[in-house]
Amino acid sequence: MDPVRLRRAIRAGTFRDFTNLAAPGYVQANLVIVPDAWADDFEAYCRLNAQALPLLGRSRPGDPCLPDLAQDMDVRTDVGEYMVFRDGELVDTPRDIRNLWRGDLVAFALGCSFSFEAMLRAHGVRLRHLDEGTVSAMYVTDIDTLPAGPFGGKLVVSMRALRPADAIAATIISDRYPQFHGRPVSIGLPESIGIADLSRSYGGHGLTRLAPDELPVFWACGATGQIAARQARLPLCITHHKAHMLVTDVPLPTGTPS
């Protein structure tokens, strides 16, 4: 479906699935909401770690809309499921945050790998997790991000199981789109970035088993911002939950890789 219909269905509670295959052809985004007192620090953190946290949009304090990304978007209702953190601890996973909204909250939309997955498929790269009806797994690495204010912590990556030829093609294609995390941070060597066991994913979801002819390919992931916000122990922070992304009206880029 188109993104307007999708957001309205999410808002009405009639669409509750992951969004990785929804509204094909449109940019999807990670969502992080913080109080205004920490918003400039969080933006600085995003800009210092732009591969993981490519900034697509920032709302004004108290405004739940991001008109540059969609005219009818409301970040309080248009995500299928949210995560609410208080002092760094997860306290709730609601489907609507209107009752939590305050005049000092600032929403950040950050580039998402679901967008480049659509680009990869358009160029013939097989993504087995989509064939099997699941999503890419995420892992916390041992790579430190660059801190800003109270924000810092380890880099989170998403993993796709790819055949070698597809891994090469995916690297070439994704490198052209830094707004969707750009090129991989590691190919085939999970131990080199501190991942000891692929079966233990961050959040406990996604494809974690490799076929004999597949390599694990790791991209920087927007969940890095969630880790940083939790470490900052803000009195309130709200993010999307798992693979329930914010779907925009921005079309994906077109064209073929050079």
Residues with Cβ within 8 Å of 208's Cβ and at least 6 positions away in sequence, in order, are: 137, 159, 198, 199, 200, 201
Mean pLDDT in residue range 32-58: 98
Q: Is the pLDDT of residue 246 over 90?
A: yes
Average pLDDT for the chain:
94
pLDDT higher than 70, residue 86: yes
User: In percent, how much of the chain has pLDDT > 70?
Assistant: 98
Instruction: Identify the CATH number of the domain defined by range 3-11+22-113+224-249.
Output: 3.40.1640.10
Contacts of 168 by beta carbon, 8 Å cutoff, 6+ apart: none
CB atoms within 10 A of CB 157: 31
Tens digit of each residue's pLDDT (9 = 90 or more) over 127-149: 999 999 889 999 999 999 999 99
Question: Mean pLDDT across the stretch 216-240?
Answer: 96
From 110, 111, 98, 133, select the one nearest 59 (Cα to Cα). Answer: 110
Query: Could you tell me the pLDDT band of residue 256, with boundaries at 50, 70 and 90?
Result: very low
Mean pLDDT of 247-257: 79
Model pTM score:
0.93
3-state DSSP assignment of residue 173: helix
Does the structure show a pLDDT above 60 at 255? Answer: no
Per-residue pLDDT, 204: 84
Residue 258 has pLDDT above 50, yes or no: no
Among 36-40, 49-53, 131-135, the minimum mean pLDDT is found in: 131-135
pLDDT for 27 equals 95
CB 181 within 8 A of CB 52: yes
SS3 237: strand
Distance CA 211, CA 239 (A): 33
pLDDT at 89 over 90: yes
Inter-residue contact 132 to 125 (CB < 8 Å) = no
pLDDT in tens, 201-212: 998 888 999 999
CA dist., res. 61 & res. 84, Å (int): 18
The tens digit of pLDDT for each residue in 23-35 reads 988 999 999 999 9
Q: Residue 244: helix, strand or coil by DSSP? A: coil
Six token digits for residue 141: 């690495």
**CATH tag for 116-222 (out of 3.30.2290.10, 3.90.1200.10, 3.40.50.1820, 3.30.2040.10):** 3.30.2040.10
Q: What are the sequence ranges of the domains in the chain?
A: 3-11+22-113+224-249, 116-222
Q: Using 50, 70 and 90 to split pLDDT, how confident is the model at 257?
A: very low
